[in-house]
């Protein structure tokens, strides 16, 4: 698995950690989240991922002033190739 993979204790892949401006976000499929609370679909263990609220606010202020590149990555579909 990639080094940024977030894996449950049972080995189930939850998602991938993305770091942007020193803040860790969690990518699950097409969603990039700052806070996730749930449970593993495979074993049922609880799962919680959050970032500090103040760091989040600081990052959002930078986005408002266009000082930060967006987190989204463009993915070329097979039809476009």
Instruction: Express each pLDDT in 35-75 by its tens digit.
Output: 889 999 999 999 988 876 556 666 777 777 766 566 555 55
The reported pLDDT for the residue numbered 62 is 75
The reported pLDDT for the residue numbered 54 is 54
Q: Model pTM? A: 0.60
Range of the domain at 12: 5-67
The reported pLDDT for the residue numbered 1 is 83
Q: Does the residue 30 lie in any domain?
A: yes
Q: Does the residue 50 lie in any domain?
A: yes
Query: Could you give the number of structural domains in the chain?
Result: 1
The reported pLDDT for the residue numbered 11 is 95
Q: For the chain, how big is the Rg over CA atoms in Å?
A: 15
The reported pLDDT for the residue numbered 80 is 54
């Amino acid at each position: 698995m990639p080094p940024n993979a977030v894996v449950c204790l049972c080995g189930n892949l939850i998602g991938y950690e993305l770091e942007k401006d020193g803040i860790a976000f969690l990518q699950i499929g097409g969603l990039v989240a700052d806070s996730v609370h749930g449970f593993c679909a495979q074993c049922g263990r609880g799962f919680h991922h959050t970032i500090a609220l103040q760091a989040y606010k600081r990052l959002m202020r930078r986005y408002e002033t266009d000082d930060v590149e967006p987190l989204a990555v463009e993915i070329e579909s097979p039809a476009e190739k």
